[in-house]
């Protein structure tokens, strides 16, 4: 489905987005039939092992976007513009075009950058905004918009992005009442992470919802499976069978 068609689901049907960083996961998500795949700069943490997204480069993102594009044949892909990739409008347009060449259908821009967003939209590049907690610049990860002044600023930023013409925006870590006000105020799809029930859709980092890291447990996160446990169990069985000479058996051997 095209991104502008997706936007027509607002108020009618919820939007489901997940992150992916590689070919196989993208293929699974594609086959599972979700609405959008985000190649998030969260890969800085879950793939590269950094503590935040601040070291992720455009080259890193493009590498993963290409892999995801090979796997997701039917699902629109959004490439997350990493820190410093949109410092100037010239950089932003050059890098966003590289994301499209790598197989993305649009880009996500974090924070309040009206000039950059306007330039990309004028160039025909679909943009997803991102307000609330902004990991690329945040000093600490905490819920945003609990105080009235901060809430008003987030609402104003969201409305501004909407007026510019973004097709959607991520609302990250905010009270659900604020996310509800934003969702009502904008035409764009609001896709929440830690932003409660009133958003137009929801996104989670795939590794988090699959339970790769049991120690990562923010309040909003629901784990749908514990792959950490399942992988450890499988590895333990493999180890045991190799040590005891059970694997490989006749069935798994060429004769």
Residues forming the active site = 172
Query: Among 113, 110, 117, which Cα is nearest to 144's?
Result: 110
Cβ atoms < 10 Å from Cβ of 34: 19
DSSP 8-class letter at 136: T
127-132 and 106-108: which strand pairing? Answer: parallel
Binding region for ligand KIV (CB under 6 A) out of 29-37, 40-48, 90-98, 118-126: 40-48
- Give the tokens for residue 44: 């800085």
Query: To the nearest whole angstrom, how small is the minimum distance from the Cβ of residue 39 to ligand KIV?
Result: 8
Q: What angle do CA 37, 23, 247 make, to 5 degrees?
A: 135
- If the CB atoms of residues 222 and 252 are measured against ligand KIV, the closer one turns out to be 222
Binding region for ligand KIV (CB under 6 A) out of 37-45, 67-75, 215-223, 234-242: 37-45
Q: What angle do CA 174, 166, 50 make, to 5 degrees?
A: 55
Q: Out of 30, 35, 41, 157, point to the residue binding ligand KIV (CB under 6 A).
A: 41
- If the CB atoms of residues 42 and 112 are measured against ligand KIV, the closer one turns out to be 42
- If the CB atoms of residues 222 and 255 are measured against ligand KIV, the closer one turns out to be 222
Q: Out of 203, 207, 210, 211, point to the residue binding ligand KIV (CB under 6 A).
A: 203
- By CB under 6 A, tell whether 42 contacts ligand KIV: yes
Q: Which of residues 86-145 bind ligand KIV (CB under 6 A)?
A: none
Q: Out of 83, 131, 170, 171, point to the residue binding ligand KIV (CB under 6 A).
A: 170
- For 168-222, the DSSP string reads EEEEES--HHHHHHHHHH-SSEEEEESS-TTSSEEEE-HHHHTTS-TT---TT--
- By CB under 6 A, tell whether 80 contacts ligand KIV: yes
Query: Among 131, 156, 157, which Cα is nearest to 144's?
Result: 131
- If the CB atoms of residues 40 and 180 are measured against ligand KIV, the closer one turns out to be 40
Give the 3-state secondary structure of residue 44.
helix
- Of the CA atoms within 13 Å of residue 171, those in its CB half-sphere come to 35
Q: Out of 15, 40, 83, 210, point to the residue binding ligand KIV (CB under 6 A).
A: 40
Query: To the nearest whole angstrom, how small is the minimum distance from the Cβ of residue 94 to ligand KIV?
Result: 21
Residues found near ligand KIV in the complex (CB under 6 A): 19, 38, 40-42, 80, 170, 193, 203, 205
């Amino acid at each position: 489905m095209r991104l502008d068609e997706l936007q027509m689901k607002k108020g009618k049907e919820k939007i489901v987005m997940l992150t992916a960083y590689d070919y196989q996961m993208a293929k699974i998500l594609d086959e599972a039939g979700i609405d959008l795949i985000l190649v998030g700069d969260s890969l800085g943490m879950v793939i590269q092992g950094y503590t935040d997204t601040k070291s992720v480069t455009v080259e890193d993102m493009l590498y993963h976007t290409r892999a995801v594009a090979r796997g997701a044949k039917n699902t629109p892909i959004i490439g997350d513009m990493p820190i410093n990739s949109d410092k100037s409008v010239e950089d932003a347009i050059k890098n966003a075009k590289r994301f499209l060449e790598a197989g993305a259908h649009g880009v996500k821009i974090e924070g309040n950058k009206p000039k950059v967003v306007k330039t990309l939209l004028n160039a025909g590049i679909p943009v997803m905004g991102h307000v609330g907690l902004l990991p690329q610049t945040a000093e600490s990860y905490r819920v945003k918009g609990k105080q009235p002044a901060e809430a008003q600023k987030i609402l104003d930023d969201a409305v501004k992005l909407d007026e510019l013409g973004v097709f959607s925006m991520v609302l990250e870590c905010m009270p659900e009442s604020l996310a509800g006000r934003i969702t009502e105020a904008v035409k764009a799809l609001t896709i929440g992470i830690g932003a409660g029930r009133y958003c137009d859709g929801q996104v989670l980092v795939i590794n988090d919802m699959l339970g790769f890291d049991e120690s990562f447990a923010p309040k909003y996160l629901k784990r749908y499976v514990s792959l950490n446990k399942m992988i450890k169990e499988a590895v333990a069985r493999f180890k045991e069978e190799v040590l005891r000479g059970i694997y490989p058996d006749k069935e798994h051997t060429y004769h």
